[in-house]
Amino acid sequence: MTLKISNNKLMFTENKDTFSEVVDITLYRYNSVDNRIWGILKGFNSHKKLSKNSILVSSESLKSILLANFRKEINRVESLHSSIVHKEATSVYFLWKMLEDLVGLRWVKFTLNSNVSYNRVVDIDDMKTIKYSVKVVRGTLRLFDVFNKVQLPLVNSILYKANILKRGQQFTVIKADDLNTKLDIFLATNNSSEILTPINLIMQEIEPYQTDNPELLLVTDFD
C-alpha cells in the first residue's frame, strides 16, 4: 500500500481502512525528519525492540508522540492548499494521515534504513510525486461486514468446500495469496454465477493489499 502526494492532488484513501492492523514502515537515517522521528521513538519507553534497527510501536503511542513533538508541523501542512502540500509534506504528515485513514491500526513496525541514495520523490506521468510506502503485515477481514445474514450461509459453505475453514470454525489465519489461490482453485470447478459473485467480493476486499501479501484473520458468522 502506498500513500502519495502529487503536485496537483492528494492521493490518500477516500474510505477509511478497517482491514490493516499491523504495518511496516521504513525511516531513513540520512533524512533529518526521519532521523528525528526515529530518535524520539527509540527514546519512548513503550516501544518494543525487535532488532538493532527495528522497533514496534502501538498506534496510540505513535499518535501521542506525533502530537507531543510535531503538532505545529501537522497543523501547518494540513492548512496548506492541496496544490502545494507535496512541497511541504514530510514523514510526519504521512504518518499522521496513516493514523487517520487506517482506523483499525494497532501496531507500527519501524525499520531504520541507512541507504544514502534514497529518494521518495518519483515522476509519474511527468508529475512530481512523493511516494510513502506502508507495508501491511497483518489485517482482519470480517465477512459479516461484507455480506448480509442471508448471504453468509452460502459464503460459509464456499469457505468449507474450498478448505479455507473447517466445519464449525468461525475464523482462521491465512496469507492473502493463499486465500486467493484456494478461492481460484475452487472457482475453477464451481464457476456458476452464484459462486462467482461472493468469491469476487472477497477478492476485491483483499486486492488493495495483494502486493504486501499480509497475514489475515478471516472471520465469519453462523447467524
pLDDT of residue 191: 86
Q: How far apart are CA 8 and CA 6, in angstroms?
A: 5
pLDDT of residue 123: 59
183 or 167, which is more confident: 183
pTM of the entire predicted model:
0.84
Q: How far apart are CA 113 and CA 26, in angstroms?
A: 7
pLDDT in tens, 31-53: 888 999 999 999 988 899 999 99
- Phi, psi dihedrals of residue 25, rounded to the nearest 5°: -130, 140
Check pLDDT > 70 for residue 155: yes
**Residue position matching grid coordinates 502506498:** 2
Give the β-pairing of 2-6 and 128-133: antiparallel
**Those residues with Cβ within 8 angstroms of residue 92's Cβ, 6 or more apart along the chain or in another chain:** 33, 37, 66, 70, 73, 74, 77
Q: How far apart are CA 219 and CA 141, in angstroms?
A: 6
Residues β-bridged to residue 121: 130
Contact of 132 with 4, CB cutoff 8 Å: yes
Set of cell numbers at residue 75: 497543523
pLDDT in tens, 44-88: 888 999 999 999 999 999 999 999 999 988 888 777 555 555 555
Contact of 99 with 63, CB cutoff 8 Å: yes
pLDDT of residue 181: 97
Buried b (16+ CB within 10 A) or exposed e, 134-171: bbbbbbbbbbbebbeeeebeebbebbeebebbeeeeee
pLDDT of residue 16: 82
pLDDT in tens, 2-35: 554 444 333 444 468 999 999 999 999 988 889 9
pLDDT of residue 211: 92
Residue-averaged pLDDT of the chain: 86
Question: Helix and strand tally (H, E) in the chain?
Answer: 7, 11
Check pLDDT > 70 for residue 165: yes
In 47-97, DSSP assigns E strands to 48-51, 54-58
